[in-house]
Structure 1
């Protein structure tokens, strides 16, 4: 499990006076070239800004570390407070405060998520907390202090074991429906009631996936229909949209979807699945789980081994033109990105 995965959500700002006042951009003045950078929130040790520059335009996204962690600007990850020098005014609430344990380690459930729990460690009057997540498909069982099958656990927490980190249904809006209100940046994308329309110079990006540590679990699924083929492969979903190293490629020709995932050692893992050239939406799914990788188009699939973890990239996830590929020209629907398994990985039907 990855303790430093970034669980991001966007904070909106509303001006209630009669005249709209400008909202200061904390990323203004950064010297980065095109791409993504990060800076700490000077008022909160657990929060930070993701800054994305496109030419002279800079956008900022306000993100929060998982419970119990601080933002570490030196290594650009959420880290244990002991490793971070931070004097911001606010502190991270400790869910383990008030526990009656003697010196040693105890456990308590996360009241908001059946699949998560806290490890509480007391040394004298000091209590530290560490937030953990059970393997996909399991709940925390406080009775036996172990991750267990949901049928064996009484849990009424509001969240589910695994939900998408991003869900764009393209149902007339370009809003994220994952429940986290993930920021989506678009350039010319039109969303109809049934699907999103993409063509040359049209791009969609999701900055929250920049610099994300996917570990060795990733699921990307969508429906697509290529309307016009080109001489080169067209990029449907990638994280190759900036000048940094990419790791995820889902591309298409007029009859094949190609899948490439690069691990943290620079090794490329490639699969491809053919599909009939018909004017209809095709179902596509990429699954990486531990040492396996599976690519699916409709009912056809290809399977291979996967080694290591998915390489971290500072680029966002993109739909649209990226370096080395033609722009996707077609229709897209129901784009989901998950960093957990929503269903078990079935290797063979």
Structure 2
């Protein structure tokens, strides 16, 4: 009986190919897994990548809660590289526009806010209807804007990258997928993407909890420059001048006017001269008696000795009063302290060039 025919080698070849194919598939699968694992950023790489992105920003817009000393403040502030800031906020329950430039803090608010801020029972003569710019007392208002500039936030990201050993947790911020990094007292939120950017920043001290929007354009800086220009009509409610001495014997009976002269002094922390508009108002008979008119003059205060301020009340009311039997009258001094001089405004605007 003849031997069985030799089997073709095609079966072995197919088996080999199939086996080879399986081996090849396995190898590919392993390579894909390795590559994917290698491409996944570490927490340090995520934070440093976000820092690199933020380092090119000219401004950051912060929306949320910002520390303001003991005063609660929330809103939307735009902060430049140099720490200058502006934007609409709510301070002590009042909505206003805030402007912080070179250590000076201004607010644009209505007369009711300024009357409360100045602890006055009556509205100052220079306050009009609508909103006005005024300078806030630095002791009442401490903005930590230099801690939330683009460069400061960039530094915080790099510090967190150096210190953090925790893996981020996945969450959502501003409707976007995010990674949450908790580093001690600071919490940082980055976009969950290949090119992460800072979405939110929180800190325990100073008290900060804000959504962050970096911008590389200069529109906000131009807006800030215009706001600084508006300070030419601002006042400083934090300086309280007083009259420490009156010159007597300047008014007489049957006269067309009365000259009023007082020595004005103000206690201020400013080393620069302070320009003050002085308004003298006269009443006849009693402190709250008949209004006899007023006059204004402007003086510059420097040092603690005081400066004489004089003007003349020449009204028909005074002329009629001086011809009457009652010769008693009262002085009522009022003051409007300049919020920013033309030189200060120019300096503040020039400083924006570095931003």
> Same fold by TM (over 0.5)?
no
Q: Normalising by structure 1, what TM-score?
A: 0.24
Comparing both structures, which one devotes a greater share of its residues to helix?
2
Larger radius of gyration: 2
Q: Normalising by structure 2, what TM-score?
A: 0.24
